Amino acid sequence: MKKLWLTIAIFAEILFAVSPKTNEIVFKSLKIDRSQMGDEICDSIYSGLPRAEIAKYRSFCWIDGSGAEYNSPLDYSIVFYLNPNDDEGIYLKVRRENQICKDVSTGAVAEGTPGTALFSEVLFAELMRLQKYGVVQNNRDSLESFLKQEIDKMKGVSGCEDIDLVCYYEGEGAYYLIGPDMANCCSLVDSSRMFLPLVKIKSIGVRALKIGKNRFYLQGVKSDDAYTLFDLNGSVLQQGWVRSGIIQTPMLPAILKIQEKVIMLK
């Protein structure tokens, strides 16, 4: 059955223009409580947006006992999809809405508006978000460690810089589904955008106070907010959740992205 699915998927990629995406990711270790998968989560996800934006993204958000699909607040151009299968594991995918793969038959290249987050960041952030809402039942610390470990495995086989086009089955490994013809259809992510809002950050109350070597206390963020640290080249250094308002970066200077805001740490 799996071989048949792969054949159909490859054929579909050749015939139709598709968006940059991951392929099927299956985690067997995740414990899902379907009773916690309610429509009210959609309201919580977008509660901090302006009214017009809430209506826009809320209308496409779907979460119930059979699955979830919604635009990630980490990068609203990325759709996160989760489908729990009691027998086979948790099926996951992420894809971009604002880009398409052009010229698939001759070696596709992504075109469209560059995103502001990587697929791996969204996969990590949204599973941790669902853990906070009680959907994912795994312990937060063990889930964080597990996701980082598995994401590293996916990155190791991708022809892109992140986990684009990777197909992954926990216990079986990760591999490229499409092969060389689709190797150039990697997501467009404009890492330079991370450096643009630095001046605006201070005006909206987010501050990072240095309290030790590579250690910062964050003001204006919540204690369970997800964050990502980048080096100055835009490569991910670290991902996690703020604990008691404190984070520690492995190196300085670094770029902190949190709550859709960016700040330089030095």
The label of the residue with tokens 């809402």 reads 133
Q: What angle do CA 4, 63, 121 make, to 5 degrees?
A: 75
Residue 180's nearest CA partner among 94, 108, 103 is: 108
- pLDDT more than 90, % of the chain: 29
- Average pLDDT of the residues in 228-256: 80
Q: Give the separation between CA 91 and CA 218, rounded to whole angstroms.
A: 35
- Average pLDDT of the residues in 195-215: 58
Quickly state the pLDDT bin for 106 (edges 50, 70, 90): low
Q: Indicate if the pLDDT at residue 116 is higher than 60.
A: yes
Q: Is the dihedral of CA 136, 138, 144, 149 positive or negative?
A: negative
Q: Give the separation between CA 195 and CA 266, rounded to whole angstroms.
A: 14
The label of the residue with tokens 């197909």 reads 167
Q: Residue 104: what pLDDT?
A: 57
DSSP states along 55-105: HHHHTT-EEETTEEEEEETTEEEEEEEEEEETTTEEEEEEEESSEEEE-GG
Q: Give the separation between CA 17 and CA 94, rounded to whole angstroms.
A: 16
Quickly state the pLDDT bin for 194 (edges 50, 70, 90): very low
- Taking each helix axis as running N to C, give the angle between helix 119-132 and helix 140-155, from 0 to 180 degrees, rounded to the nearest 10: 160
The label of the residue with tokens 């508006």 reads 113
Q: Give the separation between CA 135 and CA 143, rounded to whole angstroms.
A: 13
Q: Residue 254: what pLDDT?
A: 85
Q: Give the separation between CA 124 and CA 219, rounded to whole angstroms.
A: 23
- Mean pLDDT score of the chain: 79
Q: Residue 105: what pLDDT?
A: 59
Of the given ranges (62-71, 142-151, 237-246), which has the lowest mean pLDDT?
237-246
Inter-residue contact 93 to 112 (CB < 8 Å): no
**Residue type at 125 in one-letter notation:** A
Residue 72's nearest CA partner among 84, 60, 87, 86 is: 60
Q: Indicate if the pLDDT at residue 70 is higher than 90.
A: yes
Measured CA distances, 114 to 81, 200, 256 (Å) = 20, 21, 19
19-66 pLDDT, tens digit per residue, is 888 988 999 999 999 999 999 999 988 887 788 888 999 999 999 999
Helix (H) or strand (E) holding 266: none
C-alpha atoms less than 13 angstroms from C-alpha of 138 in its C-beta half-sphere: 18
Q: Give the separation between CA 132 and CA 1, rounded to whole angstroms.
A: 35
Q: Indicate if the pLDDT at residue 14 is higher than 90.
A: no
Parallel, antiparallel or unpaired: strands 67-72 and 75-85: antiparallel
- pLDDT more than 70, % of the chain: 81
- Average pLDDT of the residues in 208-224: 78
